[in-house]
Amino acid sequence: MKRMRRNGPELVAGLDIGSGRVTCLIGSPDGATGAVKVLGGSSVACRGLKGGVVINILEAASAVTRAVEEAEAQAKATVSSVWLGVRGSHLQSFNNRGAYNIARTDREITAADVDAVVSSARAIPLSSDREILHVVPQGFSLDRQRGVPHPVGMEASLLEVDVHLVTASSAHLNNIMKTVAQAGFEVVEPVYGLLAAGEVLVTPEEKELGSVLVDLGGQSLSIGVYSEGAIKYSKELSIGSDFITRDLAVGLKTSIATAERIKVEHGIAHPSLLDGDAPIDCRAIDGRTPMSVNMSTMMGIILPRVEEIFSLVADDLHNSDCADLIAPGGAILTGGGSLMKGTVEAAQQILGVPVRRGVPHPDLIQAEEKWLSPVYSTALGLLQHSTSPRWSGVNTRVVARKRPLWMRKFASMLEELF
């Protein structure tokens, strides 16, 4: 049985369960350079997901199977375990501080002391339906002196750590894990997709100076603020580029599929990009009657939603006191929604900081152009994270089990029947 095999030698797979798509990349880490070479990938739309939450396990599992199998075919290799990216507004983050007294006479800090202080930062009141996904250290303090990056080997009597905690709804997380298990794959570790994308898109300088990563997905938007070299704030907003598709479908009285095509082929998010007012041929809601829409009409429907999306980002940054942190490095955009022409210009105008599209760093990722698209940035981040998992071990839980091939076939047969 295919799934009973292990990953091929030196192969890693990143499986991004997005807000409405399942995306998979298979890569091979280069031991000498540390970069990951992308061997194959695939991204499939999935109606079994809504805003990062599984609403139909059979549909979602079949999308996972399809995404991984297409990636396997291109990579000419098979995988059995995946690094799993998750997103959606069931994830909630906040900062906390942990403290640990070094009671020994030598007071020299060991790796075990660092583990203990990071562990102490997990102590937060959490309702029984939620769990901690990540404890990301932001910086250590020794005897109240902040800004110590590597405390091991130094001396102090009080070791403290500031951390960024990412929590998830246990039920939603379990349903994602079950979906992947149903598709027949083992989960190495669930990872917040935004943090993974940040590993390959935000440079160490930008993280140090202060910047914000904005991942504009289909039904969810992630905000990640970096400052002093660490993630300081993260948030999932329940809005995304699918809202633009829906506005177009309603405004133009056409189907979602036609609206999506118009958006992807012709959409513009800023008036400076309007070049003439050529008509776009399309079909009415019945899928047959031909009609035509002017570029300016289409833009008139898109712009208010784009403005709303980035105004929500600006308000959220303002309300979280992060607006001042991001000014030096500006904003980095990614996610499928960032592909629309004029998105950078619109974001720049509304956020009032320099904005660029995120490009995976070539020292970290070697890939054909098509895998460098913002659609794949979370999966690329997962590949990179797998080579040096810095916030893992905290919550590693391999609950996904391999399923025999016949079970997977049976599940997809059932899905076809209903």
Residues from 202 through 261 that contact ligand ADP (CB under 6 A): 217-218, 220, 240-242, 245, 260
Burial 200-214 (b: 16+ CB within 10 A, else e): bbbeeebbebbbbbb
Q: Shortest Cβ distance from residue 60 to Mg ion (Å)? A: 15
**Interface with Mg ion, residue 88, by CB under 5 A:** no
20 binds ligand ADP (CB under 6 A): yes
Q: Is the dihedral of CA 243, 248, 253, 257 positive or negative?
A: negative
- Residue placing its CB nearer to Mg ion in the complex, 52 or 210: 52
Buried residues in 86-106 as b, exposed as e (16+ CB within 10 A): bbbbbbebeebebebebeeee
Name the nearest CA neighbour of 401 among 146, 185, 157, 85: 185
Which residues 373-402 are close enough to bind ligand ADP by CB under 6 A?
375
Residue 260 near which of ligand ADP, Mg ion, none (CB within 5-8 Å, type-dependent): ligand ADP
Residues 171 and 64 sit within 8 Å (Cβ to Cβ): no
**231-253 burial, b for 16+ CB within 10 Å, e for fewer?**
bbbbbbbebbbbbbbebbbebbe
**Residue 89 touching ligand ADP (CB under 6 A):** no
CA distance 239 to 218: 8
337 is a contact residue toward ligand ADP (CB under 6 A): yes
Q: Examine residue 167 and tell whether it contacts ligand ADP (CB under 6 A).
A: no
Question: Toward Mg ion, which CB reaches closer, 46 or 117?
Answer: 46
Buried b / exposed e along 323-342 (16+ C-beta atoms within 10 A): bebbeebbbbbbbbbbbbeb
Is residue 355 within the footprint of ligand ADP (CB under 6 A)?
A: no
> Measured from the CB atom, is 113 or 260 closer to ligand ADP?
260
State the burial class of residue 153 (Cβ atoms within 10 Å of its Cβ: 0-12, 13-18, 19+).
exposed
Binding mask 216-255 for Mg ion (x = CB under 5 A): -x--------------------------------------
**Residue 188 main-chain phi, psi, to 5 deg:** -70, -50
Residue 263 partner contact from ligand ADP, Mg ion, none using kind-dependent CB cut-offs of 5 to 8 Å: ligand ADP
Kindly state whether residue 340 participates in binding ligand ADP, applying the rule CB under 6 A.
yes
335 binds Mg ion (CB under 5 A): yes
Closer CB to ligand ADP, 151 or 240, in the complex: 240
Which of 29, 210, 336, 342 contacts ligand ADP by CB under 6 A? 336
Asked if 403 interacts with ligand ADP (CB under 6 A), we say: no
263 is a contact residue toward ligand ADP (CB under 6 A):
yes
Stretch that binds ligand ADP, among 19-27, 123-131, 183-191, 278-286 (CB under 6 A): 19-27
Window 137-176: residues binding Mg ion (CB under 5 A): none
Strand partners of residue 236: 222
Interhelix angle 405-417/57-75, rounded to 10 degrees, is 120
Q: Is 387 left (phi over 0), alpha (psi -120 to 50) or beta?
A: alpha
Q: Which stretches of the chain bind ligand ADP, using CB under 6 A?
A: 18-21, 217-218, 220, 240-242, 245, 260, 263-264, 267, 335-337, 339-340, 375
Q: Which stretches of the chain bind Mg ion, using CB under 5 A?
A: 18, 217, 335
